[in-house]
Amino acid sequence: MTRIQRPTETRPARLRRVLWAVLLAIALPCLAHAEPVAPRGQAGGDVASVPAANRAGAGSQARKKPAGEAHHRNRSPQKKQAARPAAARQAAQAPQRRIQCVQYVVANSEFRIRGNARDWWHNARAMHARGNTPEPGSVLSFRSVRSMPLGHVALVSRVVSSREILIDHANWARGAISRSHSVIDVSPRNDWTAVRAAVKPGADATTHGKVYPTDGFIYARGRDEAINVADRSFEQAQPPVVQPPRDLRPAASPG
């Protein structure tokens, strides 16, 4: 039997055939997934040129995306509007810092005495003159008692008589500042060692509370300076001596 001999394929021809096979293998999948080309004159393509399955997917994505974007844009202002009232409520409900009597006196005078109010009378002896006669601008020092263990200090704003003064101070009414608060002397010797403060702060106060023991007055001048008698102007004649009650227990309101 005679064998038919096929023509021998040259090497360049074999390489071209292999190359075409590779290109077709790459191009066919791409052509299978290619989307239709939009007709001219329709920027972005017409929905009718897209297959029904693709139109449904594209439509749902087109509807969801703006809704998501709008929700994202509106979410932040809503949070801010809801947070502002909450922050205001928290600020209103937050406990405010109490105004202390020592801080008020230091902020409104030249006194720079260290320590709590109960320590002022003792600590002032090396810097300031002290006594038992009220003067405008002096500090009335209350002693430490059970209801106010840290003591209390107040600025004398006006001397009404030898038995009455007006004081400015803080935290007598809890956390508040009281001005023109009437205080009367009920000590038997008129030395201001026992006083009563008006129940309602104000220059026209007529009702005074329980008795508080005091140390006396700390003056703004130095301990060696002379007393200026002109500062001790009494607007009324000295009233008769008022006998203090036997019950010297202090009221429970100050702190």
The verdict on 79 and 105 lying in the same domain is: no
Is 25 among the domain residues?
Answer: no
Which ranges of the chain would DSSP assign to H, the alpha helix? 11-32, 52-93, 101-107, 117-123
Residues of the chain below pLDDT 50? 38-60, 62, 70-72, 77, 80-81, 88, 91-95, 229-239, 248-255
Going by C-alpha positions, the residue among 90, 108, 91 that lies closest to residue 99 is 108
Is 198 within the bounds of a domain?
yes
- For residue 10, tell me if it sits in a domain: no
**How confident is the model at residue 226, as a pLDDT?**
55
Q: Are 250 and 213 in contact (CB under 8 A)?
A: yes
Alpha carbons 129 and 140: distance in angstroms, whole number: 13
Report if residue 41 sits inside a domain: no
Check which CATH number belongs to the domain holding 132 and give it. 3.90.1720.10
CB neighbour list of residue 145: distance below 8 Å, 6 or more residues apart: 212, 213, 250
One domain, residues 75 and 105: no
Dist. CA 66–CA 64, nearest whole Å: 6
Same domain, 84 and 127: no
pLDDT of residue 99: 84
Strand partners, 156: 167
Q: What is the pLDDT of residue 95?
A: 47
- Alpha-carbon span 116 to 171, nearest angstrom: 14
Residues 87 and 106 in one domain: no
A 10 A CB-CB count for 166 gives: 23
Q: What residue numbers bound the domain in which 87 lies? A: 63-94
What pLDDT does residue 253 have?
43
Does one domain contain both 226 and 105?
yes
- Indicate the number of domains in the chain: 2
The continuous run of DSSP H or E covering 31 comes out as: helix 11-32
Q: Does residue 250 lie in a domain region? A: no
* Domain end position, chosen among 76, 94, 112: 94
Per-residue pLDDT at 167: 96
Q: Please, what is the end-to-end C-alpha distance for the chain in angstroms?
A: 131
Instruction: Tell me what pLDDT residue 175 has.
Output: 84
- Rounded to whole angstroms, the Cα distance separating 69 from 210 reads 70
CA 156 – CA 131 distance, rounded (Å)? 13
